[in-house]
Structure 1
Amino acid sequence: METLYLTKDVKIAREDSTLVVIPAAAPRRRVPIEGLKHVIVAGEAQLTTAVLGLCGRNGVRMTILDWNGNVTGTFEPKGSPSSGRVRVLQSSAFTDRSRRLGLARLIVEGAAANILANLRYRKYRGNTRIDLSISGIEAIAERLPKADRVEALMGHEGQIRAFYYEAWPLIDQRLAFGPRRRRPPNNPINCLISWFNGLAYTLVKNEISKTHLDDSISFLHAAREARSSLALDLSEIFKPAICDTIIFEAVLKGRMQDNWFHQEDGVCRLSEKGRAETLEIWVKKTEERVQGEESYREIIRSEALAIERDILGIAAYRPWRRKI
């Protein structure tokens, strides 16, 4: 097991080289530290410095998520991979206007290609109502090579997502969610988008940590303190293939249940049952083999390494594109 997800309110204790997860009303669970790389806590948890010490000595990161899937804090083990040379070159790529623009453009092109892959798959399955959405996105994608500023790319990316989200109710009316609302979400679909996007950010951030990249230095999103801007960049490429596909399948196959959600005063949040079941779906999706090859987790790590190789001048970066 590489990632341990905790959704229920628990206590986490240490016994020798083992983490002991103690739920309030369920049997305790022992998780050997060997092979573990990441603990994600999506509920209330009590733990001691002995637990953090064991995680730190064994290179295990711990991430705390709020009810919307947003990262509220991270424990980083000492001695994570780092390279002064890579950091200097990554900083140079960020400050070089042309270099940054080129990498940002590739990221948006990758995201647009995977958004189109989702819609073209639905068209292949017989949905012709989304033709205008597809052609609208294609027209905007054709403008990406001419964008001369990162801000222009961000604008095009926003337009692409607007066309994309407008197509959702044309795929199935149950996918309609109105305006995109993030904090807080106001309905089940907005809630799921925020939740899975947060999980994608956490996964990408964890895979970046296995490279020599500095996750605070990004190319598309503005670099800000207290966030992994590079994880936001790379998440854009994978959200259509992972997050949105999970939501489509949950709705279209009837897996999404009313008891996944708690709605009050215009705010929609996942219930404990909803968090547990969506995390189960998430783990299965991210660990499954894609086209019989690598898992999404491995593909994301390869994507981060491809950015690193580009920065080092070894090979030009090409964004991952979903095959349909």
Structure 2
Amino acid sequence: METLYLTKDVKIAREHSTLVVIPAAGPRRRVPISGLKHVIVAGEAQLTTAVLGLCGRSEVRVTILDWHGNVTGTFEPKGSPAAGKVRVLQAAAFLDPERRLGFARAFVLGAARNIRANLKYRTYRGNHDIELQLSAIELLMGQIPTAGCVESLMGIEGQIRAYYYEAWARIDSRLDFGARRRRPPNNPLNCLISWFNGLAYSMVRNEIAKTHLDDCISFLHATREARSSLALDLAEIFKPAICDTIIFEAVLRNQMKPDWFHQEEGVCRLAEKGRAETLQLWVRKTEERVQGECSFREIVRQEALAIERDLLGLSEYRPWRRKI
């Protein structure tokens, strides 16, 4: 097991080279540190410096999520430093307006293609009321190669998502969530979008850490302190294929239940049951074979390596696209 997800209020202890997960009620669970790379805590947890020491020596990252799926903090193992050559080349690409714009265009184009693939799949399933939104998205996609700056690309990406979310309600009334609200979400669908986007960010960040890339140097999103901006860049490509697909399936297959959520005073958050069951959907989606080849987790790692190869001048980076 590479990633350990914890959703209940637990204590985490150490026994030799094993993590012991102690819930408030129920049996203890022992997880060998060998093979573990990431612990994601999506509930209240108590742990000791002995646990963090074991994680640090074993190069295991610990990520803390809040009720809405936002990353509130991460324990980073010391690990080995990023390769100096790749870091220098990545910084040079960021400082070169044309190189930076090239990567930014690739990320926006990759996201747009996968958004279009989601909608085209729905038209194949009989949802022809979204042709207007599809046409608008395709017109905007035509502007990506000629966008003259990162800010223009962000504007195009925002318009594409606006048409995309508009199409959701036309696919099925149960997918109508009104305006996009993030911090905090105000209804179940906004809650699920934020939750799964947060999980995608955590997964992408963990896969970038397995390469020589510096996750603080990004090309599309602004580089800020205390943020893995490159993970935000790369996550854009995969959110339609992973996060949105899980939500579509959960809603259209009647898997989403009212008791997944706590709703109060215009704020919606996942209940313990909702966190546990949505994480099951997440694990199933990210670990399944995609297009008969790799899991999404492996594809994300390959995508990060493809960026590294481009920086090294070995091959041009081309964003991953979902097959319809």
Alignment TM-score, normalising by the size of structure 2 = 0.99
CA contact (8 A) 1:13 1:19 kept: yes
Question: After superposition, where does 1:169-318 map in structure 2 within 5 Å?
Answer: 169-318=169-318
Segments of 5+ residues of structure 2 without an aligned counterpart are none
For 2:103 and 2:161, how far apart are their aligned partners in 1?
20
Quick check: 1:59–1:80 contact (8 Å CA) kept in 2?
no
Bigger Cα displacement from structure 2, 78-87 vs 156-165? 78-87
Deviation string 1:41-89 (CA, Å, 9 cap, x unpaired) is: 0000101111011111111110000001111111111124511111110
Q: Give the Å deviation of 1:128.
A: 0.6
1:30 counterpart SS class = strand
Is 1:12 equivalent to 2:18 in the alignment? no
Identify the range of structure 1 (72-81 vs 298-307) with the bigger mean alpha-carbon deviation: 72-81
Q: Work out the percentage of aligned pairs sharing the same amino acid.
A: 77
> Residue in 2 aligned with 1:61?
61
Amino acid at match of 1:143: Q
Query: Which residue does the alignment assign to 1:321?
Result: 321
Task: Tell me, in whole angstroms, the C-alpha distance in 2 between the residues paired with 1:225 and 1:265.
Answer: 32
Query: Which residue type is aligned with residue 184 of structure 1?
Result: P
Q: 1 CA distance for matches of 2:210 and 2:27? A: 33
Task: List runs of 5+ in structure 1 lacking aligned partners.
Answer: none
Q: 2: distance between equivalents of 1:198 and 1:249?
A: 19
User: Who is 1:45 aligned against?
Assistant: 45
How far apart are the structure 2 equivalents of 1:150 and 1:266? Answer: 34
Aligned residues: 324
Distance in 1, Cα, partners of 2:103 & 2:147: 12
CA distance in 2 between counterparts of 1:99 and 1:41 reads: 37
3-state SS, counterpart of residue 233 of structure 2: helix
Distance 1:150 1:56 in 2: 37
Check conservation: 1:81, 1:209, Cα contact below 8 A.
no
Structure 1 ranges of 4+ moved more than 2 A: none
Aligned partners of 1:13, 1:182: CA distance in 2, in Å?
Answer: 34
Structure 2 distance, partners of 1:230, 1:239, is 14
Cα pair 1:12 1:19 within 8 Å, conserved: yes
* Residue deviations 1:201-256 (CA, integer Å, cap 9, x gap): 00000000000000000000010000000000000000000000000000000000
Q: Which amino acid aligns with 1:16?
A: H
1:292 positional shift: 1.3
Q: CA deviation at 1:38?
A: 0.4
- Paired position in structure 2 for 1:128: 128
Residue type at the aligned position of 1:170: R
Aligned residue for 1:129, secondary structure, equals: helix
For residue 302 of structure 1, what is the amino acid of its counterpart?
A: Q
